[in-house]
Amino acid sequence: MSPEARAGRLIPNIGPQGIARRRRQGIAALGSGGVAAVVLALAGGPWVGLATFPFFWAGALQLLQAHEKT
């Protein structure tokens, strides 16, 4: 581990535009996952959680990456 990482002074490797793009993509993925979950639940689909997991996973990763600026 680098001295900067130990001190908590990491240099972001994406700029403000990249952070905004990842935030937008994360919100879009979470929103589409929510819509898909509602549609599948109303249709009586037995695999709602399995079918929507990739949307929520991708959305969460994008938002975490935007927050951490990586």
Per-residue pLDDT tens digits for 5-61: 566 666 778 889 999 999 999 999 999 999 999 999 999 888 888 999 999 999 999
Residue 37 inside a domain? The answer is yes
- Note down the domain range covering 56: 14-68
What is the pTM (predicted TM-score) of this model? 0.78
Residue showing tokens 């403000």: 16
Tokens of 31: 């929103």
Residue 20 inside a domain? The answer is yes
Residue 6 inside a domain? The answer is no
Residue 51 inside a domain? The answer is yes
pLDDT recorded at residue 11: 74
pLDDT recorded at residue 56: 96
Residue 9 inside a domain? The answer is no
- What is the dihedral angle through the alpha carbons of 12, 18, 20, 24, rounded to the nearest 10 degrees? -130
* Domain count within the chain: 1
Residue 3 inside a domain? The answer is no
Residue 43 inside a domain? The answer is yes
Residue 62 inside a domain? The answer is yes
